[in-house]
Amino acid sequence: MKDVNILAIESSCDETSMAIVKNGCEVVECVVLTQMDTHAKFGGVVPEVASRMHTENITMVLDELLRKSGMNKDEIDAIAVTYAPGLLGSLLVGLECAKTIAFVWNKPLIKVNHTIGHIYANNLMKKMNYPMLALVVSGGHTDMVIMKDDYEFEKLGSSLDDSIGEVYDKVARVLGLKYPGGPNIEKLAQNGKYSYDLPKPVNDDTYNFSYSGLKSAVINLVHNEEQRNNEINKEDLAYSFQVVAIDELVRKVELAIKNIGVKNMIIAGGVSANKYLREQMKNLCEKYNVELTIPDFKYCTDNAAMIGAAAYPLYLKKDFSKLDINASSYSSFV
């Protein structure tokens, strides 16, 4: 069969990214322009600033992609784009760009859900085997999902309140760390030990999660100690938080492995870049003989290569979109 090259665009939050992905699994080129340093000054992503920066940068990113890949329009088979979920203004910039390229180059347009994109980042490592358990841990999601085949999702459970990434970011903020919080907590925790007794998230046997109690406990602890002029050992607190937050993911995954007899598993989303999580999941999967795939660090956080990977099964099904599709800030994929 002829190779299929998909040009993919991702702009749902604060990364302007474009990639060319061959056959859904090989990254020909991927350009990521992050706005992280700008938003760090504000302590988080400012939506209006993000969409303006996407508008300013998106054609430069396209130029760089075409130059670095050495490819031209005749070698591209389709244009894929994230249409949901994310910041509406940011999504619209990528979506309009994708529609314009699709129209001018006369290529089919494929709309891709961002969260599904995170899952398909694993196809860039090795072809996903079904049935499979997917643990999605990002700024917007904490989900456990069974996939029986491409685009066949069955939800086991999810967070009843805050997502794990959101809690990492909030805890980072109260500890005075810069945005994005996850990698900075991880760094701080490297020199810490378990010394703060934090409440465990819901201690039940469902596949749901709850992280708001843990978040409030850390915030209250910091405020109380500050009011008493007591010093906080930030390294220890970061470490203790991380252990409690991630051990809960491990406990629930172990439950699914035991109950359902899972044999294949992937992890997806920004928090999957966390080394403690990666290590704990590797140990768990080794113990139960489960085949585990985790994306390379560069494909854990937002990037367009994962969107190209997720678009490939849709291309094969000719699941193309019209040029009047809209963006959506919210979208559940299960």
Q: Which residues bind Zn ion (CB under 5 A)?
A: 138, 302
Closest to 144 (Cα-Cα) out of 242, 243, 251, 241: 251
Nearer to ligand KG4 by Cβ, of 263 and 298: the residue is 298
Q: Shortest distance, CB of residue 183 to ligand KG4, whole angstroms?
A: 4
Nearer to ligand KG4 by Cβ, of 5 and 17: the residue is 17
Is the alpha carbon torsion for 243, 193, 186, 213 positive or negative? Answer: positive
Partner from Zn ion, ligand KG4, none contacting 140, C-beta within 5 to 8 A by type: ligand KG4
Rounded Cα–Cα distance for residues 53 and 14 (Å): 9
Q: Shortest distance, CB of residue 54 to Zn ion, whole angstroms?
A: 15
Contact residues for ligand KG4, defined by CB under 6 A: 13, 114, 118, 138-140, 165, 168-169, 180-183, 186, 269-271, 273-274, 301-302
Rounded Cα–Cα distance for residues 240 and 164 (Å): 15
Widest distance between CA atoms in the chain: 69
Nearer to ligand KG4 by Cβ, of 69 and 159: the residue is 159
Partner from Zn ion, ligand KG4, none contacting 273, C-beta within 5 to 8 A by type: ligand KG4
Nearer to ligand KG4 by Cβ, of 57 and 331: the residue is 331
Partner from Zn ion, ligand KG4, none contacting 181, C-beta within 5 to 8 A by type: ligand KG4
Q: Shortest distance, CB of residue 1 to ligand KG4, whole angstroms?
A: 32
Nearer to ligand KG4 by Cβ, of 76 and 310: the residue is 310
Q: Shortest distance, CB of residue 134 to ligand KG4, whole angstroms?
A: 13
